[in-house]
Amino acid sequence: MSTDVQPTDPPAAGLKEIDEGKRRTVVVALSNRFFYLSLGVIGGTYLLLIVSMLAADTWYMAEKSVRAAAAAEQPLQAFFLENPIARALSDRKIQYSIWLSLISCTLSAILSLLVAVPLGYLISRHEFRGKRLLDAILDIPIVLPPLVVGLSLLIMFQYPPFRWIARDVVYQISAVVLAQFSVACAFAVRTMKSTFDHIDPRCEKVAITLGCTRAQAFGWVVLPVASRGMMTALTLAWARSLGEFGPLLIFAGATRMKTEVLSTTVFLEMNIGNIEAAVAVSMIMVVAAVIVLVITRRWGTRDTTL
């Protein structure tokens, strides 16, 4: 009797398994779709925020330009010459601030690279006592609130030996460069360290066995390969310097035609209620940032740790 019952059981179980299998397929497909949908939505929200910020600036500028054009007798001419950016560019104070920004950022970026290349190489290649401490100290400018950097610089110049040159630095143009350098350099060092970490140390070992001094091995074998990383470090330091504001305000002051850089201009124009000029100067900085971004992507390393 029992043998009659048995044959009917396996196919039933098989059908069940097939049903279960189909259900699993659907569940997995749905789950995967939901997973990527969530990734897209979360990522997209942030992307939208970034694009909206820039779009708002641009829209605001366009609106003001059109309004200026409508009010003028010669609309077309007014649209190009009376728009907020054109007016900002023709302002002598803002021209000065653009020039000072360009020069101070370039100087601080070059100084940062000059320090970052040897320092990055040292911590990437060599083990020594106190290396972990040095590594931690190098992170201080990155994590420290910017205002604190400025205040600390100001206080530092109360004491010798810095006090002896304080008159030529504090609230002067050199203070602008020093404040920018203090923070930008830390980013440049990180970039250079990761650049050197990616270069096979065996190449230098071979160069040394071929008769190179350490300096020759560094200059002939390592540096040429590190050029992309150096480009990234340079542009990154430059962009950091351009955005520097808090330390500048405290350590270099915000004197027009003297220590005023673009970020200071935005602040000063906002303070006197001239939002148009503030936005116009911001747009100039956006353009500079985009140029830096393009340079880094085109000629720099693909992977930065920052």
Return the residue of 175, 186, 221, 279 that touches another protein, per CB under 8 A: 221
202 in contact with another protein (CB under 8 A)? yes
Return the residue of 173, 212, 270, 295 that touches another protein, per CB under 8 A: 212
Sequence length of the chain is: 306
303 in contact with another protein (CB under 8 A)? no
Handedness of CA 255, 97, 163, 180 (dihedral sign): positive
CB of 210 to another protein, least distance (A): 4
Of 300, 178, 168, 188, the C-alpha closest to 244 is 178
Q: CA-to-CA distance for 88 and 266, rounded, in angstroms?
A: 11
Return the residue of 207, 236, 242, 252 that touches another protein, per CB under 8 A: 207
Counts for the chain of helices (H) and strands (E), in that order: 16, 0
124 in contact with another protein (CB under 8 A)? no
Return the residue of 27, 206, 287, 290 that touches another protein, per CB under 8 A: 206
203 in contact with another protein (CB under 8 A)? yes
Contact 187, 285 (CB under 8 A): no
Q: At what angle do helices 92-125 and 131-143 cross, to 10 degrees?
A: 160
Return the residue of 209, 272, 273, 302 that touches another protein, per CB under 8 A: 209
Output 231 or 277, the one with its CB closest to another protein.
231
Output 150 or 300, the one with its CB closest to another protein.
300
Output 58 or 213, the one with its CB closest to another protein.
213
Contact 184, 109 (CB under 8 A): yes
Cβ count within 10 A of residue 253: 16
Query: Which residues of the shown chain bind another protein in the complex (CB under 8 A)?
Result: 200, 202-203, 205-213, 216, 220-221, 224-225
